[in-house]
Amino acid sequence: MDRTSRKIEHIEHSLKLPNVSTRPFDDIKFVHQSLPNVDVNSVEIKTSIGELHFSSPIFINAMTGGGGERTTHINRSLAKIARKYNMPIAVGSQMAAIKDKKQRATFEVVRQENPDGIVISNIGSEATVKEAIEAIEMLNADALQIHLNVIQELVMPEGDRSFSSSLMRIRDIVEHMPVPIIVKEVGFGMSMEAAASLAKIGVRAIDVGGYGGTNFAVIENLRRDGTIDLFNDWGISTVASICEVKASQPFISVIGTGGIKTGLDIAKALSLGASAVGVAGLFLKELHQNGMNGLEATVERLHNELIMVMTALGAKNINGLSKAPLVIGGETFHWLEQRGIK
């Protein structure tokens, strides 16, 4: 199976994923405030990750590229939305275009459609420093994501089997890169142990890519009729993972990706300590089912819902949201207690 067909299959199966039965975001409840002392019009949602400043805390997370016409079309549409709403956008793994130059156009379209916006490159932890630089130069990127996807590789028969040098390669890239690095998971969450290892080698931004949204263990099983299903429920939820990283590495900027569906989810992720959130599956589904109009309506809905929740809580900005009182119940409560997270 070549990378191109695999990319298309990932898109196809991600669109068919059933909704998860329990939503860890539901374990987080905000405490209602009857006197919020804020006007809707005065709420500000700009944020920053290190030296990168965003006017929206929602970014379009890594999905596609390297799959021909179809992924070019998806990337063009996503890039147009990113430009219209001034949202950062990350492309899917550029390893395909590094190995095969003919695939570059499917990624380059993102920079062409969004010449002045924040565009983020994406590579795997198998990449060398030279490949990382090539990925950034391909898009004149403002930052570089390095994805960690051990479970997905293990479930794929053709996947990688060697993970012992990942940290060393990430360290080399961090030392040589001219742009900020974001290390990200792809839906299994980041633990405090992984965050500590990444902090030690100089990583300053982590996208937790938590459990509860797009599930690559399930996707890989759908691709081959469920041969290895032991990882289908594996992973740290997005909310627990934000707490794992933020409580153990307070100086790391956290991005809360994984299962974001509403502005309330976004407010919860930000209040737990994330500086921004990434959305992938929801945007892809919306684009597939309802086209550009549906995608635009979804982005506007998320922004409006976030502003409504912030108003209700009396949070004038993202920093104010991090001070909003909340109560944690359910499995997340037990998870945090057993992991010693206050």
Q: Considering the rule CB under 6 A, would residue 4 count as an interface residue with ligand FNR?
A: no
Which strand (E) or helix (H) includes residue 242?
helix 238-248
Tokens standing for residue 322: 């991090």
Give how many residues touch ligand FNR by CB under 6 A.
27
d(CA 121, CA 87): 15
Binding mask 74-93 for ligand FNR (x = CB under 6 A): ------------------xx
Token pair in block for residue 105: 């156009």
Q: Which is nearer to ligand FNR, 92 or 117 (CB)?
A: 92
Stretch that binds ligand FNR, among 24-32, 59-67, 262-270, 332-340 (CB under 6 A): 59-67
Q: Is 141 helix (H, G, I), strand (E, B) or coil?
A: coil
Pattern 271-290, ligand FNR, x by CB under 6 A: --------xxxx-x------
Please report whether residue 214 would count as binding ligand FNR according to CB under 6 A: yes
Under the binding rule (CB under 6 A), the answer on residue 203 touching ligand FNR is no
CB-wise, 195 or 315, nearer to ligand FNR?
195
Least Cβ distance, residue 160 to ligand FNR (angstroms): 14
Considering only residues 122, 249, 271, 311, which one is a binding residue for ligand FNR as defined by CB under 6 A? 122
In the chain, count of helices (H) and strands (E)?
14, 12
Residue 14 binding ligand FNR, by CB under 6 A: yes
Q: Which of 71, 248, 257, 311 binds ligand FNR (CB under 6 A)?
A: 257
Please report the DSSP string for 47-109 in residue order. EEETTEEESSSEEE-----SSSHHHHHHHHHHHHHHHHTT--EE-S-THHHHH-GGGHHHHHH
Contact flag: residue 111 with ligand FNR (CB under 6 A): no
Name the binding residues for FMN. Answer: 62-64, 93, 122, 184, 214, 259-261, 280-281
258 touching ligand FNR, by CB under 6 A: yes
Q: Which residues make up each annotated binding site?
A: 6-7, 62-64, 93, 122, 152-153, 184, 214, 259-261, 280-281
| Binding site members for substrate | 6-7, 152
Nearer to ligand FNR, 179 or 314 (CB): 179
State the nearest-atom distance from the C-beta of 238 to ligand FNR, in Å: 8
How far is 136 from 139, CA to CA, in rounded Å?
Answer: 6
| In the complex, residue closest to ligand FNR by CB | 213
Report long-range pairs for 2-8 (Cβ below 8 Å, ≥24 apart): 3/66, 3/95, 3/96, 3/99, 3/100, 4/66, 4/67, 4/68, 4/96, 4/103, 7/64, 7/65, 7/66, 7/67, 7/71, 7/92, 7/96, 8/67, 8/68, 8/70, 8/71
- Residue 106 or 114: the one with the smaller Cβ distance to ligand FNR is 106
Nearest distance from C-beta of residue 284 to ligand FNR, angstroms:
5
Could you say which of 88, 209, 235, 263 contacts ligand FNR (CB under 6 A)? 209
Which one of 37-45, 58-66, 267-275, 312-320 is the stretch in contact with ligand FNR (CB under 6 A)? 58-66
Q: Which of 213, 235, 256, 263 binds ligand FNR (CB under 6 A)?
A: 213
Write phi, then psi, for 304 (nearest 5 degrees). Answer: -65, -40
Nearest in space to 28 (alpha carbons), one of 317, 319, 339, 313: 313
For residues 236 and 188, is the Cβ–Cβ distance under 8 A? yes
What are 249's two structure tokens? 């590495």
46 and 84 in contact (C-beta within 8 Å)? Answer: no
- Pairing assessment for the beta strands 205-207 and 253-255 based on DSSP bridges: parallel
For residue 115, the tally of other CB atoms under 10 A from its CB is 10
Nearer to ligand FNR, 127 or 315 (CB): 127
Contacts with ligand FNR by CB under 6 A lie at 10-11, 14, 61-64, 92-93, 122, 145, 147, 184, 186-187, 209, 213-214, 257-260, 279-282, 284
